[in-house]
Amino acid sequence: MSSTEETIAKVASFYAAQADWYNVTYEQPHADGKYRRLRQRYHALFAGSDVLEVACGTGYWTETVSAVANSIVATDVNENLVEKTRQRTRELTNVRCEVASAYSLDHVAGTFTGGFAQHWLSHVPRRQLTAFLQNFHAKLTPGAQVFFSDDTHYDHPSLIRRTDADGDIYESRLRQDGSRAETIKNFFTPDELKALVAEVAEDIEYEEYESDVLWTFSYRLR
């Protein structure tokens, strides 16, 4: 297994192990208030769209987008996360959940007028960013709305970080059981994000939500 494949596998393993904790986090009473502005952005961008989501996790954002989308296909490489999303959205007739790697979406049926991923782009190795986006864009129609949101740079006393030769940042985090696990966690400048899609995108917008320690990045495919 190459170092890139190992990194991708570690990300999948990390979030599979942390699934229950992230599910609880999104169920906290403060969550809806914390993400109110971001939810409004999702609703404005994807109303009436047929949407593809990658790395759906426990389905919080799937449910958010389903409130306004014509349809949404939520995908994740982890079967247990897909099942959690399926249970969360089981009464929603416009949601379909599938196990699929974000790096290989060919078998996901359909084409889509919108696509998004929340807290995902930071976990993509830099050398895989272009390939991931090409694969993702291939499932979308011309003019499709694309949206990514992730963390701006943060620090915490429990974190240990290192940077490899490719410029990828690896973050060692304390887990709920007291053990440590390492996952890739890159941070991007607005110019880096814009450069990634400059040749295929229009209506490019970048914004930071300082109160939520988040950035948002949206564009339409040409």
Bridge partners of 207, per DSSP, are 216
Bridging pattern class, strands 169-174 and 180-184: antiparallel
Reduced to 3 states (helix: H, G, I; strand: E, B; else coil), residue 137 is helix
Q: Which domains does the chain have, with CATH numbers?
A: 3-152+189-221 (3.40.50.150)
Average pLDDT on 137-150 reads 98
- 1 vs 205: which has the higher pLDDT: 205
Question: For the chain, what is the mean pLDDT?
Answer: 89
Cα 121 to Cα 141: distance, rounded to the nearest angstrom: 21
What pTM, to 2 d.p., does this model score?
A: 0.90
- 36 vs 48: which has the higher pLDDT: 48
Beta-carbon count within 10 A of 72 CB:
30
Residue 201: per-residue pLDDT: 98
**Cβ contact 65:72 at 8 Å:** yes
Cα 88 to Cα 93: distance, rounded to the nearest angstrom: 12
Phi, psi of 124 (to 5 degrees): -90, 125
Bridge partners of 124, per DSSP, are none
Average pLDDT on 131-142 reads 97
Cα 110 to Cα 209: distance, rounded to the nearest angstrom: 33
For residue 144, give every residue at least 6 positions away whose Cβ sits within 8 Å of its Cβ, in sequence order, or none.
112, 113, 114, 115, 137, 220, 221
